[in-house]
Amino acid sequence: MSDELTQELIVGRISGVYGIKGWVRIHSFTEPPENLFGYRDWKIRRRDQWQTIEIDSGREHGKGLIAHIVGIDDRNAAEVLKGSDIAVPRVLLPELEQDQYYWHQLEGLRVFSAGQCLGKVDHLLETGANDVLVVKPCEGSIDSRERLIPWVQGQYVKSVDLEAASIEVDWDPEF
């Protein structure tokens, strides 16, 4: 991973255009979605290049978000940005309380149950009741099965060790 990508965290995506004055629709990955507007140092990725942008206005609109980017003043210019990832410097993320984690911290960690490697966290799913770890097989895992493990600390998730890049779960390997 490039040095720049390890310093930035993707927090949203430009999903479309809104109106004729250069506004864009935003799909936010933050919770709640409008927290995205709390970050001012946005970068967008276009053609595998990151560029800094400035938002001069943004708001909720319907079930989503819209924003205006400085210098983008017509629909055609906004259309070019559709599909661009939005990132912010990781250092701007608020500190979490003990035993709380950002999803990006969990992705890539190896998952163990009773000393057996079940695989690596590929990504997480938001289900409403609780988040779910999507664990895919990796080198050293006990089989080639994908597992969906509920992120319920204390019940299924016993411990997380970021330094050792591992998660200990109470999960039947046959399930």
Query: What is the span of the domain harbouring residue 141?
Result: 103-169
Regarding whether 115 and 88 lie in a shared domain, the answer is no
| pLDDT tens, residue by residue, 102-123 | 999 999 999 999 999 999 999 9
pLDDT at position 4 is 47
91: phi then psi, degrees, rounded to nearest 5: -65, -15
Question: What is the CATH classification number for the domain harbouring 161?
Answer: 2.30.30.240
pLDDT at position 114 is 95
Q: Which of the residues in the chain have pLDDT under 70? A: 1-6
In a domain, 138, yes or no: yes
pTM beyond cutoff 0.85? no
Q: How far is CA 149 from CA 41, 123, 159, in A?
A: 34, 11, 14
